Every structure is written in structure tokens, then in C-alpha cells.
Structure 1
Amino acid sequence: MQNRNVVSARTATPSVSFLSEVSLLPSRTLLWDFLALQAGFIVCLLHSGNMSVKMALQQEGFDRKKRGYRDINEIDINMNDPLFTKQWYLINTGQADGTPGLDLNVAEAWELGYTGKGVTIGIMDDGIDYLHPDLASNYNAEASYDFSSNDPYPYPRYTDDWFNSHGTRCAGEVSAAANNNICGVGVAYNSKVAGIRMLDQPFMTDIIEASSISHMPQLIDIYSASWGPTDNGKTGGWRPRQRLTAAAPWPDGVNTGKGGAGSIYVWASGDGGSYDDCNCDGYASSMWTISINSAINDGRTALYDESCSSTLASTFSNGRKRNPEAGVATTDLYGNCTLRHSGTSAAAPEAAGVFALALEANLGLTWRDMQHLTVLTSKRNQLHDEVHQWRRNGVGLEFNHLFGYGVLDAGAMVKMAKDWKTVPERFHCVGGSVQDPEKIPSTGKLVLTLTTDACEGKENFVRYLEHVQAVITVNATRRGDLNINMTSPMGTKSILLSRRPRDDDSKVGFDKWPFMTTHTWGEDARGTWTLELGFVGSAPQKGVLKEWTLMLHGTQSAPYIDQVVRDYQSKLAMSKKEELEEELDEAVERSLKSILSKN
């Protein structure tokens, strides 16, 4: 409570309990908020140095209310769609033994008038049933294509077991129409959906994959992908030649798509469970994508959830409960409905829907703006991971190794998006490299350090981190037993690679693999980074680290300097702590001068 105190008008004794209750926010900000909300107090401003009382003033308190906002408990959402009450991920009232309030908070966004209108989401999958009565009115034929059959009609190929229902289910989560007495309601029920059929052929090719990722960026705002490398616990990323083909659309799409603001790519983190690590998935771990994990309706992890340091946030699915209504309710093939959609396949489209609501609030949002909004507005809520604890990084942002920065909050995101100012230019810095081969001991750990100035003094100086990549070349007698951790100068530890017990590789290893972390978001990259490598299996192994290069990505100027703080208990307020303190000092000084001049 430095430099400030509050004195009660009745007792004339210090009363600082209100200030001490919230330790994450600057004391000046708390006091200013206290002054604005509390009546009947005399305020003494105590300045360091002479500690003199500059002004004592008692004022009456009165009400001011924001217009256009209502308490969420007062919101009355009426939908006649038969599965709407079973869509607990939209509004969780405890259905299927869930935890009330643990949902995407779409009701608040809808109440504010945001339903996805004017936004198109491309579902890259096995096709969509665009004749489905719950999808037909929102289908964007112009933005759709079938790369599996090379024609403009991405209708799913028929199989007796309805195997190709995946894309139709994902499409319904995003864009199913509202109030038509059919199935359920999409997260962004007035958005348009495009079908990009690309998963239904004997083998994937570089051309099909690259063409799908870069299809119609002038029409498609958000791409949703609920697929990736095989989740068998031993497969890795993309093949080497794909770095020049399938990987190529990323920079082009995020820089030139969506009218120049950049396409937004949403990726399911993977369904390999504890046997896999999504940092081995070149798509889910790409800094160009927003990787989404899942929780079930009571906040626990799904049994298939993969964990990794590249996951940015989470939504909902099923994967632990046998209750038939605990799955994701959505559209199904041939005009049908289902309660059985699941996996992180269901999580990614929900996120795409939330992002569509944010885009309606502000069509100028870039792909990086969306990632910043995700970090700032996602909530821990009641998510709990039995393996990984919630931790705070060096600037106070709370994260979890599996859930990322928490569950998406549509209401919070659209409110922040509405007045959002695009973040500053992004820079890339090679923070340093270790090129000499180092042996990894069979017991214990190989510990290396790298001190960097983050390119300070150069044009590409990175002061505020977004993504960090550890580009690593390593071989081991058993790749699956490798464990790799990296700790930032501000003390944040990221698990770059967990044990994958099914991975028996002893030849390939990882060749210049970019392990990525988002856990150091907002931190200062300057200082000493620590890399730890070891084996965690039962049998002794050997290995060699051949290269470690530190890649830093972020901004030179404070990313939120132009953002308006409306909630002093928010992550945005915490991220702007120093700036808010300076602003408050200036505001207090101006107010005092005005009061003194009148007296």
C-alpha cells in the first residue's frame, strides 16, 4: 500500500483492508477504484518523501450505471431448437451432471447483439452436409470446394457407418441456425460456413493440404481444423518436404488473408492423451495457429487430451462420462442430429464460433489480435487438471500446461474486441544458439544456459514476448523417453516435450524441430534461458543434443498501450500495471489542482 492510505471519516484510523485484499493490481489503481465506488470516506494522499497530507475531502456517493449491459442472470435466452437445452457448452445449468456456469458464456455475447453475422468460417474436413436444414441457410457455396474430388461440391462421401459425419458435426457447432425447430444452435448462429473437403482420400498430399489451408482467404475469415498427424504417440509433425509446401500458406494466410488483417487458423490440439504430446504436431504447435484443447462439462480433462506448452486455450467436449447427454449436441448427416460429437475435434469449432463473435464486434482484428484477446479473456473458471497445476508466468498471467490460459469467454472477448486497437508490429529475433554436441546422460539431466539481449539495440529487438521457439536437433536411443524443459529469465518453466511411451524411434530423433511455448506471453526475453534434457523411462537411454536455437517473437513496444481498461481486476489491467500507475498519478494530480483552484 505504498504512498497511499485511506482514513475512515468516523474513526479517523487507517482502514486498508479493501486495498490488501487484491494484491495483483497496483495500489493506486485500487484506491482510485475505491474512491469511485465508496461513499462517506475522507481520503488522505500521502506522498513519499515528506508524507504530508495534501488534501482531505469528503464526498457523497451516487449511482452511475452502464447502458446496454445487463446482469447475466437476467438474460433470458429463448430458443425453440430441440437440442438447445442439451447444449451445455453454450449455457451450462448442470445438464448431464455438469457444473453450472462452466460454459463458453455465449449468452452474454448474444445479449450484446453478436451472433457471427458477416463472418465466414471454413471447415477443413471430410465435407459438410450443406443440404442439412439446420445448415443450408448459412452455407457459403462460393467459399466452398472439394479438394478430395476436385469439384465445387464438398458433400460427404456415403458410407454405411456414416464415417464421414465429422465435418458436418463441426459445422453445426459453429453455424447451425437458431429458432428453426431443428437440432441445436451454433455458437455463431448467424455466421456463414464453408465446406473444404480434404480428408476423404486414401492418402493426404502436399497439394491438397496446402490448397485447403490457403483456399479463398478473401472470403473465409476463420479456418477450423479438427485433424492432424496420427494420434498414436509416435508420429511427429509434417514431413521434411512439407516445410516448403504445406507450411508455406501460413505466413501468406496470416499476413494477407481476411482483407489484409490475416486469416485466423483454429486447430484441435490432438486426441493422443497421455501417450502423446501436441508439441510434436506441426500444426497444433505452430505459432500461426490457435491451438485449442478441451474440458468436459464438470471441468475435468478429457481422457484423450494431449498436453503441451503451445496450447493457447480450451473449450468443451466429452471424453470421460458415460451419460449420453454429456457429449456435444450438433448436426449430423442427412438432416439428422446427434448428442455424441466428442474429442478435441469438437473443441476447435466451438473456438472458431467464439472468434466469429469477436470478429463481428471488430472485423479489423488480426490473427495476432485474436491470440492476444484469447490470452487476456480466457478464464480458469472451474477447470482442473489432476496432473498439471495452474501457475503464473513472470507477468502474472495464469496458465495450465493442458488448458492453456483457460476456457474461452465469449462475453468477455466481444466486449474487449469492440474497442480493441491492433497490437504493435511483430519482430523476430534469434536469441542465440548452442551448436556444439552435448551428451544427454542416462541418469540425471543435461542442463544448458543461453544468455540473450533479445536483439536489443537492433531493429528486430523483442521486448514483450508472444511466442518462443526452441529449435532443437536431438537423437536418442529411445525418442519417446525424452523430456525437455525450458525456463525463461523471469522464471517460467515450459514443458516442451513430455514422455511418449509408445515412441520407440532410435534413428530419426528431432531434426531442427521448433518446440513452441506460449507460457511466457508478455515476459521480457532478456536474460538467461535454461534448457534441461533427460530421460524419464524405466530403462537407461543415451542421447545427443546437436543444436538448440532460441527464437523469440514479440513486440518492441507495450502491446496494450492503446487499450482501454474497464475492469481493474482483469488480465489487461494487470498487464498494464506500470502504465496505469502513471496515468493514475497524473489524474490525481490534475484533480487536486482543480479542487485547490476552486477553493
Structure 2
Amino acid sequence: MKSFKRKAKIYLPLLMVGAVIGLLFTNCSKQGFDAAVAEIQKGDDPFLGYAWHINNTGQSVFATSGSGVVGFDLNMLKAWTSGLSGSGLKIVVSDDGIQDAHEDLKDNFLYGVSINYHLSTPTGANNAPPNSVDDNHGTAVAGLIAAVGGNGVGTKGIAYKSKLIAYNLLSSNVAQLDERIGQQVTGGYDIYNMSWGSSQNNLPVPVAVWGTSLVAGVTNGRAGKGSIYVKSAGNDFIVKCHNSTTTYCVGNANFDPDNNMPYTLMTGALNSMGEVASYSSPGANLWVSSFGGEFGDDYPAMITTDRSGCSAGYAQTLNSGKVEFERGSDGNSKCNYTTTFNGTSAAAPVLAGAIALILEANPNLTWRDVKYILAKTAVQVSPNMSNVTRHPFYNYPGDASKNVRLPTGAIWENAWVTNAAGFKFHNWFGFGRVNVDAAVALARNYSSPYTAGPSVIGFLMNSSPSPNAIPDYDAAGISSTLSVGTSLRIEAVQVQINISHNNIADLGIELISPSGTKSMIVNMRNSLTGIAGFDNDIFLSNAFFHERSNGTWTLKVYDGASNDITGTLNSWGVKIIGTP
């Protein structure tokens, strides 16, 4: 995921933390890879066999230490063979520009409607190409969505006949002004991909125009059916602690205020080995998980388009990485493709392409229908995962300073939860792995549960919680309740929190619905080190999807660090979006 802090765009490293989250890898033979190439090859796209996210038969691509798990992919081949290709869908890539002249993108680029912030009149530009040697990200994102199929070169996007539009907010020397952030979701097009966000070790001030633009888009886009907004959850499972240059903590997708709106589809990343990707940010705001891979040298990453030529992009002759393909070998003589692209940056466009197939199967779907279909058909990943009783840094290899202990009886993360409406949810996966063929089948024979527009309750506040003193290093913590009288079928819940505390990185916060479903909003011992208090910060949970809203809601606050710092819960409240 390409990242920025409002005014200054930065790159953040995707740190390999497989030892922390316990990835299990398997081996596969070259024969398995060759079989994958033969099976998936359609038309004449020579690199399509590397696309394990489309058809995983155990191929290792160019990785040296591990390969894929057969069948752990999008489950989408029936959609393709039935004729779905993304035809007629228009997809905006908000990023650092797209090389529209790329051999595998040019026939799917829609000219004259881009936003190019390097022009005096940005809107309606003919195109929005990369501006500098650093602007490689958007071209890779675009290929996962809509690399042209059957054209004799490269690979094949999931929605390989959809049309691409570029908004280059992240391009070099573009000021990321609030107004421009709001513009990323305007235009009324079908799908928007945003593989970007803020670092998840602080709590930036929310951009008001972002929220109002999203509401306008889901209200008016696609002739009133609502545009679909896909966003990366983040690559900050491990992130530098707040105001530290050397110490690492665990991030949370909810710490980016652009991620707390119910109008976006937040996606985490999976690898080819059947697990959550090592970098993928957890959070109660995830919707589903798509595919982002690992790093391409040890374990497979993603095949996609790269800026043309061996002196630009991720694949270059002078590349110092282990993968020869990235230096112009193994058929990539022009360095026009890369097999090392990864991250939730990749998971988002993979999901965007999948949604294009779903919308092509049923163009009448609203944005809420799309969310419902994805949640209903998602597949559990690691379904037997239990509560995480220890902090991920407990006995961290090679670093005694990270032997983080939680209070006796405390947990760091909940196991899979089945809510009262029957939906399964986990903060690492959302509702689970995207299942395209099942989603397409449901879309084609769909009866919407939404007979009216969404209603909103709140914020309903408890402004005088009692007790309000948060005990230090105590698994029991404190509990506060509030009552909701209106019954809605929940589509999303936002929680607003005000807490005084010298170091909110100590704190864990859990929200419990009237039905008893638990959602971990903030994990104990998080990345917000040294920040004094939650100042009416707003977080999103999707765990209560389709439960009823009426009854008693409970907020629990725990302190997970033994440093003799106590705090105070000053107020909290919930805002509920749902259907009567």
C-alpha cells in the first residue's frame, strides 16, 4: 500500500513477520508449476500461469522457500468461462498515475476523464501518467484489475475488459490537499480503487470532505445505485511505534481515519500459502480479505504490469533482488512486468476486479448489495484459530525487549466470532476470503434484503460512564453500558471514544452488542505509544452485520501494561447504520 501523511507522501517498508504470526509454508515441485501454467493459460497471455491468485495449483512462481496451497485463490474460473470479463465497467485507480501506453493496458485505458494534478486544469485530463522514477505503484495496481486478455503479451487482469481511469493523487510533487482527497471518490464511476492510506501509528485529524464525498458517491453514483469504493486496510501489522525510529509495534487499520467510514470496502491481504499475509493490518473495520502475496523472492508475490523498460519501474536490469525475472530474464526481456508486487496495495485491485465481474453479472446491484454478497459468500481462513492469548511480540525472536506480557487472563485478539445473524467475522480477515464464483452465482439469482435506504442512529452517547477509572494492568478492566431503543438490522457500527490516559498504547477496547457479539476495536499494547488520550476518536466495526441494534451495548476498556499509569473513560457512544 502506498502511504502518505496528509501533506507528504512516504513509502513504508513491508516487514516480514512470518515468525510472529506463525505462517506455515509448503513445498511444491516444478511439475506442479508447469501444470498450473498449462491449466490456467487462456488465449496467449504468456505470464498468466504465474497468477496464483486466479488459479492456485501450488506454483512457486520464482520464490525459493515456499509455494502455494492448491485451491487457495479467488475461485473465479467459472466466472471467466461463463463469459464475464468486466466489460462495460469503469474503474478509477486513485494512485500515482498509470502508464496508459503500456502494452498490456493501453487498450483498456479510457482517455479524457482522468484527474492529472500536474496540469493547471486537472479534471478531465486525457491521462494521468507517472511523473517520476518513484511513480510505479499505480501501473502495477492497474494491471491486476485490467491487464488486457488474449493480446499476446504479459498477464491478464481479473476484469480484463474493464476500462481504467487514473487519478494521480499520490504522484510525485502533488500536494495531498484535503479537497483533493475528497476528489478521489467523485465522478460517479462504477468502482474506485484506493491502495493508499496513513501510517497506523498515530491518529491524524479526519478529512471532513472525504466523508461527505463518500456519502454523495454511494447516494448518487451509478445512477443512484452507488459507486463501489475499495480501499486497502494497510500494511502495518508491524509498524514503527509512534514517534520512534527504531522500535516496532502492532498497528490497527482503524487508526487511519480514512478507514472508519461504512461506505468503503476495506480489504486485508492473504498470501498464496493459505494464510493472512505477514504485513496485513488487522482491524474491526475490515470487510473481506483478498490476495496480496508475500515478497516474491522467498514466498510468492503477485504478477502484474510494470512500467515499460529495464530502467524504470520495479523490474530493472540493475535490480539487486534475488528474482532474475525482475532483471529481464525468464521471458521478461523488456522488464514490462513484475512478480514482486505485493501488499494490501495488491489485495485492493484484486478485489476491485472481482467486484467488476459481480456487477457485470448483475448491473442492478446497489453498493449495499455488493457488500452483502461478498460477506455472504466469503470463505473462512484459518477457521480453527483460537483467541490470541499472548501479544504477538511475546518472546519475539532475537529481541528480548519485545517480550510483551499481557495481564493474566487477558487476550490480545478474539477468535472467529459468529454473530447473532450467522455471519462469521475475524479482525484479521473480515468476513473471510473472496469467493468470486459463489458471489457471481448469488448475484445472478439475487433478492435484496434492502427494501429501503439506510437509516442512521446516533451518535448515542454515554457522557458519564460509571465506573470510569481504568485500573492499571488489569484483565477485567471496566465496563460501561448504554441503551439503544431503535431496532435496525445493522450494516455498520461506529464507536466514538474519549479517554484520558498518558499512554493509550496500553489500552484495549472491546465493544459488545446486545446479542453478545464481541468486537475488539483496539488491541492492548498497540502502536500509539506516548499519545495522551483518545479525543472523541471514531472507529468502525463490521462484526455486528445484520444483527438487531436495540438493547444494551457494552464498552470494555482494559489496560495491558504494568507501568502504574491509570486512566479515565470520559465518554463513549455508538452510531448505527442499518435497515428498519
In structure 1, the gaps of 5 or more residues are 1-74, 456-460, 557-599
Distance in 1, Cα, partners of 2:542 & 2:527: 26
Aligned to 2:451: 424
Amino acid at match of 2:237: G
Aligned to 1:272: 236
Does residue 1:354 correspond to 2:381, yes or no?
Answer: no
- Is the radius of gyration larger for structure 1 or structure 2? 1
Q: Are the equivalent residues in 2 in contact too, given 1:109–1:410 (CA < 8 A)?
A: yes
Aligned to 1:136: 106
Q: Could you say what secondary structure the match of 2:290 adopts?
A: strand
Map 1:287-436 → 2, pairs under 5 A: 287-319=262-294, 322-323=297-298, 326-334=300-308, 336-380=336-380, 387=388, 389-422=415-448, 423-425=450-452, 426-430=454-458, 432-436=460-464
Q: CA RMSD in A?
A: 2.2
Q: Compute the displacement of 1:179 (Å).
A: 1.1
Q: Compute the displacement of 1:474 (Å).
A: 1.8
Q: Compute the displacement of 1:110 (Å).
A: 0.8
Aligned to 2:53: 89
Does residue 1:235 correspond to 2:202, yes or no?
Answer: yes
Query: Match for 2:176 among 178, 188, 204?
Result: 204
Amino acid at match of 2:215: P
Amino acid at match of 2:53: Y
Q: Are the equivalent residues in 2 in contact too, given 1:301–1:384 (CA < 8 A)?
A: no
Q: Are the equivalent residues in 1 in contact too, given 2:95–2:167 (CA < 8 A)?
A: yes
Amino acid at match of 1:288: Y
Query: Match for 1:442 among 461, 472, 475?
Result: 472
1:30-78 CA distance string (max 9 Å, x none)? xxxxxxxxxxxxxxxxxxxxxxxxxxxxxxxxxxxxxxxxxxxxx9762
Q: Are the equivalent residues in 1 in contact too, given 2:141–2:349 (CA < 8 A)?
A: yes
In structure 2, the gaps of 5 or more residues are 1-38, 61-66, 239-249, 310-335, 389-412
Query: Match for 1:182 among 133, 153, 157?
Result: 153
Q: Are the equivalent residues in 1 in contact too, given 2:484–2:552 (CA < 8 A)?
A: no
Amino acid at match of 1:366: T
TM-score by length of 2: 0.76
Q: Compute the displacement of 1:391 (Å).
A: 2.7
Map 1:570-581 → 2, pairs under 5 A: none
Aligned residue pairs total 464
Q: Report the identity percentage.
A: 30
Q: Are the equivalent residues in 1 in contact too, given 2:499–2:535 (CA < 8 A)?
A: yes
Q: Are the equivalent residues in 1 in contact too, given 2:254–2:283 (CA < 8 A)?
A: yes
Amino acid at match of 2:152: N
Q: Which has the higher helix share?
A: 1
Distance in 2, Cα, partners of 1:278 & 1:286: 12
TM-score by length of 1: 0.74
Bigger mean CA offset, 275-284 vs 164-173: 275-284
Q: Could you say what secondary structure the match of 1:273 adopts?
A: coil
Aligned to 2:11: none
Query: Match for 2:546 among 522, 526, 540?
Result: 522
Bigger mean CA offset, 333-342 vs 164-173: 333-342
Aligned to 1:68: none
In structure 2, do the counterparts of structure 1 residues 208 and 88 end up closer, same or farther at CA, with 3 Å as the change threshold? Answer: same
Distance in 1, Cα, partners of 2:366 & 2:153: 34
Query: Match for 1:171 among 142, 146, 157?
Result: 142
Distance in 2, Cα, partners of 1:154 & 1:385: 44
Map 1:464-483 → 2, pairs under 5 A: 464-483=489-508
Bigger mean CA offset, 427-436 vs 255-264: 427-436
Distance in 2, Cα, partners of 1:205 & 1:555: 35
Does residue 1:554 correspond to 2:578, yes or no?
Answer: yes
Bigger mean CA offset, 84-93 vs 266-275: 266-275
Aligned to 2:42: 78
In structure 2, do the counterparts of structure 1 residues 516 and 361 end up closer, same or farther at CA, with 3 Å as the change threshold? Answer: same
Q: Are the equivalent residues in 2 in contact too, given 1:168–1:331 (CA < 8 A)?
A: yes
Q: Are the equivalent residues in 1 in contact too, given 2:267–2:347 (CA < 8 A)?
A: yes
Amino acid at match of 1:155: P
Distance in 2, Cα, partners of 1:506 & 1:453: 31
Q: Could you say what secondary structure the match of 1:251 adopts?
A: helix
Q: Could you say what secondary structure the match of 2:104 adopts?
A: coil
Distance in 2, Cα, partners of 1:79 & 1:130: 22
Bigger mean CA offset, 541-550 vs 107-116: 541-550
Q: Compute the displacement of 1:301 (Å).
A: 1.8
Q: Could you say what secondary structure the match of 1:429 adopts?
A: strand
Q: Compute the displacement of 1:488 (Å).
A: 1.2
Amino acid at match of 1:185: K
Distance in 2, Cα, partners of 1:487 & 1:137: 50
Aligned to 2:244: none
Bigger mean CA offset, 383-392 vs 135-144: 383-392
Q: Are the equivalent residues in 1 in contact too, given 2:202–2:527 (CA < 8 A)?
A: no
Q: Compute the displacement of 1:202 (Å).
A: 5.7
Aligned to 1:497: 522
Distance in 2, Cα, partners of 1:429 & 1:167: 38
Aligned to 1:583: none
Q: Are the equivalent residues in 2 in contact too, given 1:450–1:530 (CA < 8 A)?
A: yes
Q: Compute the displacement of 1:404 (Å).
A: 0.8
Q: Compute the displacement of 1:307 (Å).
A: 0.6
Distance in 1, Cα, partners of 2:88 & 2:564: 57
Distance in 2, Cα, partners of 1:304 & 1:518: 21
1:524-561 CA distance string (max 9 Å, x none)? 222222111122134232222222112121112xxxxx
Q: Compute the displacement of 1:513 (Å).
A: 1.9
Distance in 2, Cα, partners of 1:224 & 1:175: 12
In structure 2, do the counterparts of structure 1 residues 278 and 122 end up closer, same or farther at CA, with 3 Å as the change threshold? Answer: same
Distance in 2, Cα, partners of 1:323 & 1:514: 38
Q: Compute the displacement of 1:149 (Å).
A: 4.1
In structure 2, do the counterparts of structure 1 residues 446 and 480 end up closer, same or farther at CA, with 3 Å as the change threshold? Answer: same
1:550-598 CA distance string (max 9 Å, x none)? 2121112xxxxxxxxxxxxxxxxxxxxxxxxxxxxxxxxxxxxxxxxxx
Amino acid at match of 1:253: G
Q: Are the equivalent residues in 1 in contact too, given 2:296–2:302 (CA < 8 A)?
A: no
Q: Are the equivalent residues in 2 in contact too, given 1:311–1:404 (CA < 8 A)?
A: yes
Distance in 2, Cα, partners of 1:229 & 1:381: 27
Amino acid at match of 1:208: R
Aligned to 2:28: none
Q: Compute the displacement of 1:439 (Å).
A: 2.3
Q: Are the equivalent residues in 2 in contact too, given 1:272–1:305 (CA < 8 A)?
A: yes
Q: Are the equivalent residues in 2 in contact too, given 1:279–1:309 (CA < 8 A)?
A: yes
Distance in 2, Cα, partners of 1:543 & 1:453: 27
Amino acid at match of 1:225: M
Q: Compute the displacement of 1:504 (Å).
A: 2.5
Aligned to 2:25: none
Amino acid at match of 2:365: L
Q: Could you say what secondary structure the match of 1:95 adopts?
A: coil
Distance in 2, Cα, partners of 1:191 & 1:320: 28
Q: Could you say what secondary structure the match of 1:333 adopts?
A: coil
Q: Could you say what secondary structure the match of 2:210 adopts?
A: coil
